[in-house]
Structure 1
Amino acid sequence: MNINILYEDNHLLLVEKPINIPVQRDSSGDFDLLTALKDDLKVRYKKPGNVYLALVHRLDRPVGGAMAFAKTSKAASRLSDALRRKMIKRKYLTVVHGVPKTKKRRLEDYIWKDNGRNKVFVVSSNPKAKKAILNYETILSQKGFSLLSVQLHTGRPHQVRVQLSNMGNPIFGDQKYGQHLSKRGQQLALWAHVLSFKHPVRKKPLSVESMPPSVFPWNLLL
């Protein structure tokens, strides 16, 4: 598996996740990113035995882009704490159907996950619902599509997908939350664009950027 490394040192490994592979082993049994990276570290550094690499955050299987992994337990612990304190900034690019009514907006919804169907719903009242917050800005609109920049403030499952769909602008290729507009076989147009945080050991600002591939619908708007 050819994986683009965005940044690496003794404590961190930041990579560009390929689309359509799970970040860690799941019920599908498909080869996953975490295993691939451990295998790569083992070969590159000639490490005997098991390789330590911790998952810091997640991306949905069809989503590509910037992801962070910790190579030491110290880095893993501090990044997990930074994530809880909302000190890790995550920005996405996405192509949605239509044109949002408001160019820039903050979305605050309560969402609930049906684990049996692996689907998330925006709800008005549910004791198990959790608050989901994001900001979006419309960069460009043409030919029935819009390119949005999205900044997450919470990290709920399928959050960007379900909140934008609930707004009336489902993401291109989303078979789960935009099935009335998306066609079977289309690739979800959601990309982890920027990942920024303070280095967990060196305490200096660190930011990486990843760009989506130049294919439709990205090449229509980027």
Structure 2
Amino acid sequence: MSDGNTPNITILYEDNHLLGIVKPVNIPTQEDATGDPDLLTLLKQDIKERYNKPGNVYVGLVHRLDRPVGGAMIFAKTSKAASRLSESVRTRQFTKKYLAVVHGHPKQRQGRLTHTLLKDVRTNTVSVVPKGTDGGKEAILDYEVIGHTDKFSLVQIELHTGRPHQIRVQMKEIGCPLYGDQKYGPHLNKPGQQIALWSIVVGFPHPITKEEVIITSLPPRQFPWNEWPERIYEQIRA
């Protein structure tokens, strides 16, 4: 789906209940203070046009990706599907896997990171705080280093919680901020660099049929993603 004014959005999966797409980078998932075109509005317009639907079109937001992040996302096309998908998220039947290029090399090749995160709404930043801090929320992820160069590591990440900026903050906390992340790695990254974080897998039980649905997306073959051979990415998707 695309026209002269909107970015090309690839559809990965669609039926009467769900819409799976590749989120383009630098588009907000939903309307924000910038007033820039947002993904939710673009998808509603697309469904309205493709199916010639009168009136309002329902598209339900189930999970989010930060504005600079691209990759696989799933949306609900009915309120029932949205409710059931949200329940899958709450009961942790909703799988979210990511790839990230980070500066340096984690001390352990794989592991689980558990931190307490606190968001400052005023500055839209998140920090690691002591457990028990008022307003702090537990953040858990598993990571595995699947490739590295002298400067960078390619890391596969599975989220077990969905906190704002979670991957970016937790990887910074272990001394490996993401490539291109000016907010959480300004001393290593330069303005204009694209953050190297990509949603590669979203999996969940179908809200109606209960069959497992898995949608996948691979990052673009450009720096720093192209520091590793295509076969590494294809193995992940397989």
| Offset at residue 221 of structure 1 (A) | 2.1
| 1:146 and 1:221 in contact (8 A); partners too | no
Partner of 2:120: 114
Query: Identity across aligned pairs (percent)?
Result: 58
Partner of 2:235: none
Letter paired with 1:167:
I
Q: Deviations over 1:37-88 (max 9, x none)?
A: 1111011101011101111110000000011100011100000111111110
Letter paired with 1:157:
P
CA distance in 1, matches of 2:163, 2:206: 24
Partner of 1:51: 57
| 1:138 and 1:146 in contact (8 A); partners too | yes
CA distance in 1, matches of 2:137, 2:95: 20
DSSP 3-state at the match of 1:214: coil
User: Residue 29 of structure 1 is aligned with which of 1, 13, 35?
Assistant: 35
Q: Is 2:190 aligned against 1:183? A: yes
| 1:6 and 1:16 in contact (8 A); partners too | yes
1:1-222 aligned at under 5 Å gives the runs 1-125=7-131, 126-222=133-229
CA distance in 2, matches of 1:123, 1:77: 32
CA distance in 1, matches of 2:109, 2:71: 24
| Offset at residue 143 of structure 1 (A) | 2.8
DSSP 3-state at the match of 2:128: strand
DSSP 3-state at the match of 1:80: helix
With the length of structure 2 as denominator, give the TM-score of the two structures.
0.92
Q: CA RMSD in A?
A: 0.7
| Offset at residue 2 of structure 1 (A) | 1.2
| Offset at residue 128 of structure 1 (A) | 1.1
Stretches (4+) displaced over 4 A: none
| Offset at residue 124 of structure 1 (A) | 1.4
Q: Deviations over 1:96-151 (max 9, x none)?
A: 00111100010000010011110000011412110000000000111310000000
Give unpaired runs (5+ residues) of structure 2.
1-6, 230-238
DSSP 3-state at the match of 1:179: coil
CA distance in 1, matches of 2:135, 2:25: 30
CA distance in 1, matches of 2:134, 2:36: 35
Aligned residues: 222
CA distance in 2, matches of 1:116, 1:221: 38
DSSP 3-state at the match of 2:172: helix
CA distance in 1, matches of 2:150, 2:35: 39
CA distance in 2, matches of 1:160, 1:64: 14
